[in-house]
């Protein structure tokens, strides 16, 4: 039963560190840093590089620990620590010191590079108490053209490519350049490779328009031979029942795109792939899968009947609304974690002697949801399905449909939409997306 998700968080206890006493004497290091900063930095080990260099820079800035006050020398040292290209993220101590110490100086190309370069190297994830979020914005005070003037440089492009997946605004710029045939960075193969890592997809209820743009480019014959399977991988497990936050404009673009993807599979050498594509096209839902081909499991030559409605010879399902209300609370936890949603169509099979044989799935939403629907149908529907006996079809195997089970995920939980629908043809199992706490 999925109704409440317990969340917990850890509290970081900050303790004061005892100051060294007497304070360290850095006079020798300060003199060496001022005399030849390049040699001074070259002699720092990897483990102590930032700590030693920044400690000396602050001592020079403030005139402490035996060092003469030399603000210019301190700034030069920090500037050298940052280097070019800027590989330090925006929250690093060296970058923060540099920006603090130059905030009153006139704008310069170097300051621009530090801000933009640090942003390109940066993860935009901001931790908070029990949670966090992604900042989706350009560096403060800079327009897109100014950012692109650095991003498109080979050294910064390589950084952005290596760090792809944790800064939505930067990653969106990268993807747009990769799918733009007029860009020097045009590379559909690379776009197909990295688009599934796009950080905007960490919100499982939101399909960012850039993801659709990449898929459209991959399926566009004007840009080369369409790669429909790459487009499908970029879009991921799109379902009409899960992508609740897709707007009407995005949905209008997705429908024809998925139709083309599915149509391309109709000539696939694998018969099962062709069968699934044809079925999905017929339902209008890209995630729909045909269920068990139950007729094929019957003995050869068996006399099989498929009914389209509940037969009069079977006792009617009683208290169906009450049963549906209980079923509607049972969204499988694993399916919710993995954002699995969809419609399960199922029915009862009676043997030639009229006794209950099995509950089978004729439209699948994946094994987890199929199993949940089958289990709950047998558990909650009354009279019990296994106790039913069908009369009037002696010598024939008969399929009788049950209400469909629709597993839906929505950011807004409307309890009035849960349970049995007005005409009794489906049971809606509605849940909110599973929220995982960041520790």
Question: What digits encode the pLDDT tens for the residues 358-416?
Answer: 999 999 999 999 999 999 999 999 999 999 999 999 999 999 999 999 999 887 788 88
Of residues 156 and 18, more confidence is placed in: 156
DSSP 321-387: HHHHHHHTT---HHHHHTT--EEEEEEEEE-TTSBEEEEEEEEES-HHHHHHHHHHHHHHSBS-GGG
For residues 273 and 391, membership in a common domain is answered with: no
420 within domain boundaries: yes
Question: What digits encode the pLDDT tens for the residues 257-274?
Answer: 999 999 999 999 999 999
50 within domain boundaries: no
100 within domain boundaries: no
How far is residue 116's CA from residue 130's CA, in Å, rounded to a whole number?
Answer: 29
| pLDDT for res 203 | 55
For residues 272 and 326, membership in a common domain is answered with: no
- Asked if the model's pLDDT at residue 15 lies above 50, the reply is no
129 within domain boundaries: no
For residues 310 and 347, membership in a common domain is answered with: yes
Number of domains in the chain: 2
For residues 176 and 299, membership in a common domain is answered with: no
For residues 423 and 317, membership in a common domain is answered with: yes
| pLDDT for res 141 | 93
| pLDDT for res 426 | 97
Looking at every residue in the chain, the average pLDDT score rounds to: 88
Q: Which long-range contacts (CB under 8 A, 24 or more apart) does 143-147 make?
A: 144/173, 146/112, 146/116, 147/116, 147/119, 147/120, 147/173
Output the CA torsion 370→375→377→383 (10° steps): 160
Query: Among 270, 289, 308, which residue terminates a domain?
Result: 289
| pLDDT for res 22 | 64
What percent of the chain shows pLDDT beyond 90? 73
For residues 172 and 225, membership in a common domain is answered with: yes
Cα→Cα distances 14→17, 92, 129, 158, 434, Å: 9, 20, 14, 37, 31
* DSSP alpha helix (H) spans, 88-237: 93-101, 109-120, 144-151, 154-162, 168-178, 188-194, 209-218, 228-235
Per-residue pLDDT band for 21 (boundaries 50, 70, 90) equals low
> Which positions ≥6 away from 370 have C-beta within 8 Å?
291, 344, 346, 361, 364
How far is residue 253's CA from residue 274's CA, in Å, rounded to a whole number?
Answer: 23
Query: Among 289, 309, 339, which residue terminates a domain?
Result: 289
For residues 331 and 200, membership in a common domain is answered with: no
For residues 297 and 381, membership in a common domain is answered with: yes
By CB neighbour count within 10 A (0-12 exposed, 13-18 middle, 19+ buried), where does 392 fall?
exposed
Query: Among 236, 270, 289, which residue terminates a domain?
Result: 289
Domain that holds residue 371: 291-431
**Coil/strand/helix, residue 287:** coil
For residues 199 and 284, membership in a common domain is answered with: yes
């Amino acid at each position: 039963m999925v109704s409440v998700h317990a969340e917990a968080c850890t509290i970081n206890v900050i303790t004061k560190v005892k100051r060294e006493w007497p304070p360290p004497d850095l006079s020798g290091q300060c003199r060496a840093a001022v005399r030849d900063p390049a040699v001074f930095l070259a002699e720092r080990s990897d483990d102590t590089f930032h700590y030693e260099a920044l400690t000396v820079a602050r001592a020079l800035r403030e005139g402490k620990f035996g060092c003469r006050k030399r603000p210019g020398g301190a700034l030069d040292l920090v500037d050298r620590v940052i280097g070019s290209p800027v590989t330090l993220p925006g929250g690093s101590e060296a970058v923060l010191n540099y920006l603090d110490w130059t905030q009153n100086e006139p704008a310069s190309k170097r300051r621009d590079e530090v801000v933009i370069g640090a942003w390109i190297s940066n993860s935009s994830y901001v931790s908070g108490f029990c949670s966090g979020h992604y900042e989706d914005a350009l560096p403060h005070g800079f327009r897109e053209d100014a950012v692109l003037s650095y991003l498109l440089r080979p050294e910064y492009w390589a950084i952005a490519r290596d760090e792809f997946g944790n800064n939505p605004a930067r990653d969106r710029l990268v993807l747009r350049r990769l799918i733009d045939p007029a860009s020097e960075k045009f590379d559909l193969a690379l776009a197909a490779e990295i688009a599934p890592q796009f950080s905007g997809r960490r919100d499982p209820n939101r399909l960012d328009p850039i993801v659709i743009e990449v898929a459209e480019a991959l399926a566009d014959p004007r840009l080369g031979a369409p790669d429909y399977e790459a487009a499908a991988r970029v879009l991921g497990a799109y379902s009409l029942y899960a992508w609740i936050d897709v707007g009407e404009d995005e949905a209008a673009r997705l429908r024809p795109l998925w139709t083309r993807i599915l149509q391309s599979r109709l000539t696939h050498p694998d018969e099962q792939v062709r069968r699934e594509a044809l079925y999905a096209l017929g339902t209008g839902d890209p995630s729909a899968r045909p269920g068990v081909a139950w007729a094929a499991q019957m003995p050869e030559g068996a006399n099989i009947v498929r009914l389209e409605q509940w037969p009069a010879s079977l006792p009617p399902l009683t208290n169906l609304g009450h049963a549906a209300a209980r079923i509607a609370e049972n969204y499988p936890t694993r399916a919710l974690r993995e954002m699995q949603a969809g419609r399960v169509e199922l029915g009862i099979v009676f043997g030639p002697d009229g006794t209950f044989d099995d509950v089978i799935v004729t439209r699948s939403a994946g094994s987890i949801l199929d199993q949940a629907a089958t289990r709950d149908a047998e558990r909650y529907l009354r009279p019990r399905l296994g106790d039913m006996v069908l009369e009037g079809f002696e010598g024939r195997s008969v399929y009788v449909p049950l209400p469909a089970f629709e597993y839906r995920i929505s950011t807004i939980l409307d309890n009035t939409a849960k349970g049995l629908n007005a005409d009794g043809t489906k049971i809606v199992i509605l849940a909110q997306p599973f929220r995982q706490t960041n520790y």
